[in-house]
């Protein structure tokens, strides 16, 4: 089988987790390859996510590595056997892979936690809001490029709108709710849309008021994606070179702590809904 040219984030993650288990066991790829009648080269492409691993191979590797965490093993097997070709695949080769990878990871998420300080969360944006953001931040993009990004963002909402939605909680700074990225009409529609999602039980929204003292977390923006087990959590953060996914355990632990700290600065969900309602009344 030819190596994958563009492995998805989940495929890369499976390989990375298998490598971590091997390293934790103190084994070299060559040693494991000999035990499994394989080669170091084959081990390398699997651990890089460039080749798949069957359910049997994942279970054998777990046994060789002495892994007794059944929940983790089953989660890795689930990734190995998954053949889902979601809606995001139609954008492959058209949009940056991080767009596709984020949609795929969200689709399989156990829960979603988000902190935003500058923009309304992507999962809660209206099409008009998203179009204004993409057009402004990417001035060199054509209308077609912007339309594709908006279309992709609107489809991401499926994870919180489906029959069994992914539990989603977001913390939003008042600044993000007040800034008019487009016009007054679009801003009002955006606030009403957020209220609709809250009332539908599709999102838990907590607001950090501008007047809140002791909040220095303007750079705390992130999307935290819970995996089937904690070891498979993922975070998405913006960086100067573009958005990137994080899966290193020390960094994930730091982000979990950061989310809890930001939570303490936010209003509770009921007070937050009332806050957003007041903002919408100001624009009515």
Question: By percentage, how much of the chain surpasses pLDDT 90?
Answer: 88
pLDDT per position as a tens digit, 223-250 = 999 999 999 999 999 865 678 899 999 9
Beta-bridge partners for 111:
226
What's the CATH architecture for 9-81? Answer: Orthogonal Bundle (1.10)
186/205 Cα distance (integer angstroms): 20
Residues of the chain with CATH 1.10.260.40: 9-81
pLDDT score at 238 = 81
pLDDT in tens, 101-143: 999 999 999 999 999 999 999 999 999 999 999 999 989 999 9
Element (H, E) at 172: strand 168-173
> Using one digit for the tens of pLDDT, what is the confidence trace for 164-195?
999 999 999 999 999 999 999 999 999 999 99
Does pTM top 0.85 for this prediction? Answer: yes
| Location of each CATH 3.30.870 domain in the chain | 96-283
What Cα–Cα distance (Å) separates residue 158 from each residue in 86, 90, 174?
Answer: 11, 16, 26
Distance between CA atoms of 113 and 21, rounded to whole angstroms?
Answer: 27
Is the Cβ–Cβ distance between 55 and 20 less than 8 Å? no
CATH architecture entry for 96-283: 2-Layer Sandwich (3.30)
């Amino acid at each position: 089988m030819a190596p994958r040219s563009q492995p998805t984030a989940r495929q890369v993650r499976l390989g990375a987790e298998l490598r971590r288990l091997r390293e934790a066991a103190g084994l070299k790829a060559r040693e494991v390859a000999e035990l499994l009648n394989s080669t170091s080269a084959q081990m390398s492409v699997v651990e890089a996510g460039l080749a798949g691993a069957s359910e049997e191979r994942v279970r054998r590797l777990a046994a060789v590595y002495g892994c007794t965490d059944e929940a983790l093993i089953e989660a890795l097997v689930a990734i190995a056997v998954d053949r889902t070709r979601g809606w995001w695949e139609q954008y492959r080769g058209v949009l940056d892979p991080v767009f596709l990878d984020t949609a795929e990871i969200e689709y399989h998420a156990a829960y979603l936690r988000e902190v935003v300080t500058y923009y309304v969360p992507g999962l809660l944006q209206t099409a008009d809001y998203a179009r204004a953001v993409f057009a402004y931040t990417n001035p060199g993009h054509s209308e077609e490029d912007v339309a594709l990004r908006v279309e992709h963002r609107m489809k991401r909402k499926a994870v919180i709108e489906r029959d069994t939605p992914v539990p989603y909680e977001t913390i939003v700074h008042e600044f993000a709710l007040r800034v008019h990225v487009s016009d007054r009409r679009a801003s009002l529609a955006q606030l009403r849309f957020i209220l609709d999602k809250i009332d539908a039980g599709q999102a838990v929204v907590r607001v950090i008021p501008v007047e809140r003292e002791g909040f220095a977390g303007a750079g705390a923006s992130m999307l935290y994606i819970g995996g089937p087990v904690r070891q498979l959590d993922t975070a998405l953060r913006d960086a100067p070179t573009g958005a990137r996914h994080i899966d290193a355990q020390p960094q994930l632990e730091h982000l979990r702590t950061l989310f809890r700290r930001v939570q303490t600065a936010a209003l509770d969900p009921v007070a937050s809904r009332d806050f957003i309602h007041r903002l919408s009344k100001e624009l009515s």
